[in-house]
Amino acid sequence: MTATAPEAVAALRVLVVDDEAPARARLRDLLGDVAGQQPNAIVGMAANGVEALRLLDAAAADVVLADIRMPVMDGVELARHLARLPAPPALVFVTAYDQYAVQAFELAAVDYLLKPVRAQRLAAALERVRARRAPPAADVLATLATRARRHFSVAECGRILLVPVAEVRYLRAELKYVTARTAAREYVLDESLVQIEQEFPRSFLRLHRNCLVALAAVAGVERAAERDGQKEAEPRWEVLLRDLPERLPVSRRQWPAVRQALGL
């Protein structure tokens, strides 16, 4: 009786993300070295998180090996955007951080490789990916972030659109979602105003319970028009925007804070 051959192990599709070309080349070579133990196929190599997300639009990945410190978009912000994908890949951080910083990854149960990466350590990380491909939770990633995000992420048609924070003029809460308005269009974010306000205290100002305005987008304030010819006991104010016609009302409760923030 002929023995049945063991089922072949599927190759993990790997995306390598590092801003340094020698580091990307080393990971490529190491992945080749461990392919006998952990079959893998490189689907792309990127220099930062923005490039990585663009590559993922064209080629799916099972695991992303991402450096932490990168320009444009670092590894932690990339991870937060990856978590919004319908089928997010597993993530392994690659870091040159000192041992104290690495303890944060261990406490958060986040997979990481310490530079210089060793072949056996990489093989072990890929083995863990096969056993557990779930990405880190959003709250865990938030605790690892060392700076505010540079982009909001929007899930549209199964892909992630990046909206630069600097381009958002205001954010408005509507039902369960938040709408981010840029000069070009509106985007729906699956986030809360409270979360955004806490993360970007120097960028956005609360006008009322359902609206934050970007401080950089404020052109001035004007008294709101009186309605039905009746003068109100207390004036109401509206914020004017630099390149949009909308006038954003300010609640009476928030007016003192708005006036102080704008130096009025």
Residue 216 DSSP symbol: G
CA distance 248 to 230: 21
Q: What's the pTM value of the predicted model, to 2 decimals?
A: 0.77
Identical fold between 12-144 and 157-261: no
Residue boundaries of the structural domains of the chain:
12-144, 157-261
**Blockwise average pLDDT, block size 10, the chain, 264 residues:** 55 96 97 96 96 92 92 90 85 77 59 90 92 67 72 82 95 91 94 91 95 96 72 80 94 94 88
The HSE-up count of residue 48 (CA atoms within 13 Å, CB side) is 9
- Domain spanning 12-144 has what CATH number? 3.40.50.2300
Give the strands of the sheet with 218-223, arranged side by side: 218-223, 237-241, 247-250
- One of 2.40.50.1020, 2.40.50.140, 1.20.200.10, 3.30.450.20 is the CATH number of 157-261, namely 2.40.50.1020
Q: What number of other Cβ atoms are within 10 A of residue 184's Cβ?
A: 8
* Short-list 183, 178, 219, 182, CA closest to 196: 178
Query: Helix 49-58 vs helix 75-82: angle between axes, to the nearest 10 degrees?
Result: 30
| Geometric angle at alpha carbon 196, from 159 and 49, rounded to 5° | 40
pLDDT of residue 6: 42
CA distance 100 to 94: 15
Question: What phi, psi does 142 have (nearest 5°)?
Answer: -60, -35
